[in-house]
Chains A and B, each alone.
Chain A
């Protein structure tokens, strides 16, 4: 059971906006940067959002991150079929070594 809570699944039709929440606490999200990783089927994860809302080069601006208090979210606007993947939030935690990942959310494009 992760200290970061994500819904196991989310879905939308092409063109829709999908939002994935990541809920934590004061020792993690409330005190540290949030990162988001995308894992396409059968591939390694890739960095999607860093330091709460910043996008690495090559990541479309359809992906956006936000953080408020002890929660964060990833939004995918203009959903496309190639966005079908698992999405993980990740944060440092003051009471744990290293970084903790959320349980992951599988996004399905209907």
Chain B
């Protein structure tokens, strides 16, 4: 199992950014997926989840209305579109695999993370 995030960058407040997570080594469409973030020197915060066929999506209150999670099972890829970015969104963003098709919120594999810095 391998999860590789990309797309992290330095962006100004109010701007947008799209992160990607390339999955390999398992049947991607058999698993729900999540984004979890970690601010510098801070703890873990769950951000968003998407089930295997994208018909069940959930967000943390802190990002609801600004972030959109999506997946492309044909490309074995997970995405998160982040709009109206704020300095408090600065964090490492990890993609994580769930153990089930529909979220059990049990993360058995994690990517290495990609850093998003929101600053003027």
Contact = CB atoms under 8 A, between A and B. Distances in A.
A50 B110 contact: no
Contact of A97 (B59, B94, B110, B111): B59
Interface string A36-71: 010100011111001100001000000000000000
Contact of B46 (A50, A51, A98): A98
Interface range for A = 20 to 34
Contacts of A39: 44
B58 A98 contact: yes
Interface residues of B, number: 20
16 contacts: A37-B44, A43-B112, A45-B110, A46-B110, A56-B108, A88-B43, A90-B44, A98-B48, A98-B49, A98-B105, A99-B46, A99-B105, A101-B44, A102-B43, A104-B43, A104-B44
